[in-house]
């Protein structure tokens, strides 16, 4: 069995830098607008291998206007010019990483996504697999989240052949299914339905 043991979230809406230990049973409670759906959406980015945002906030409402850009930049409302106000502008990096324990093989592995956001408003992301626990530095060097390039250099230096980056969401989904015990394709559609 693969058990989630930790969730690491950096720069995802109001989550600046959070590490959440996952126990066998986790209850997610809180008042409205406390971040429950935001946390679930972060989990689903990895569990579905999907950055399109089509599933965002389905646990709370059927027609959601949440977007990947809104989560990464921390959308907090409209501005006077008809645009949006954000918590984060300019150049920054975000992470969502799930750490798992495989009790059959008695080993840890981590699946995640690194997002580099740029001054012009666009973002680039790369899914990755690390055949180890979340690193001790939790993807932060000198109090700054590691960019994709810095993460790549860090993994080359410290993890040799224990990691890989995926070139597409589809490649990550295929890798995810294999890593989690050869899941069937219907896993993704079933999880989307179960979440809403």
Range scoring the smallest mean pLDDT among 48-57, 99-108, 118-127: 48-57
What is the pLDDT at residue 63?
57
What's the order of all strands across the beta sheet hosting 163-166?
15-21, 2-12, 92-102, 107-117, 123-130, 163-166
Least confident of 3-17, 41-55, 75-89, 131-145: 75-89
Local structure of residue 42 (DSSP, 8 states) = H
**Distance between CA 114 and CA 43 in Å, rounded?**
14
- Structure tokens belonging to residue 23: 């126990």
Q: Express the helix, strand and coil content of the chain in percent, nearest 5 each.
A: 25, 30, 40
Confidence bin at 64 (pLDDT 50/70/90): low
Lowest mean pLDDT among 69-73, 80-84, 167-171: 80-84
Query: Which of the given ranges, 13-22, 72-81, 90-99, has the highest pLDDT on average?
Result: 90-99
Residues 10 and 45 sit within 8 Å (Cβ to Cβ): no
């Amino acid at each position: 069995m693969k058990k989630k043991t930790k969730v690491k979230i950096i720069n995802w809406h109001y989550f600046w830098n959070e590490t959440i230990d996952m126990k066998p049973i986790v209850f997610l409670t809180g008042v409205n607008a406390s971040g429950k759906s935001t946390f679930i959406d972060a989990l689903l980015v990895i569990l579905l291998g999907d950055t399109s945002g089509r599933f965002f906030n389905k646990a709370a409402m059927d027609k959601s206007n949440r977007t990947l850009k809104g989560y990464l930049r921390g959308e907090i409302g409209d501005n006077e010019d008809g645009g949006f106000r954000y918590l984060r502008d300019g150049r920054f990096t975000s992470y969502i990483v799930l750490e798992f324990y495989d009790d059959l093989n008695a080993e840890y592995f981590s699946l995640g996504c690194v997002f580099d956001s740029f001054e012009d408003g666009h973002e680039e992301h790369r899914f990755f697999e690390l055949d180890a626990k979340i690193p001790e530095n939790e993807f932060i060097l000198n109090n700054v989240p590691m960019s994709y390039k810095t993460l790549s250099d860090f993994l080359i230096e410290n993890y040799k052949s224990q990691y890989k980056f995926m070139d597409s969401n589809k490649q990550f989904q295929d890798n995810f299914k294999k890593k989690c015990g050869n899941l069937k394709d219907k896993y993704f559609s079933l999880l989307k339905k179960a979440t809403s």
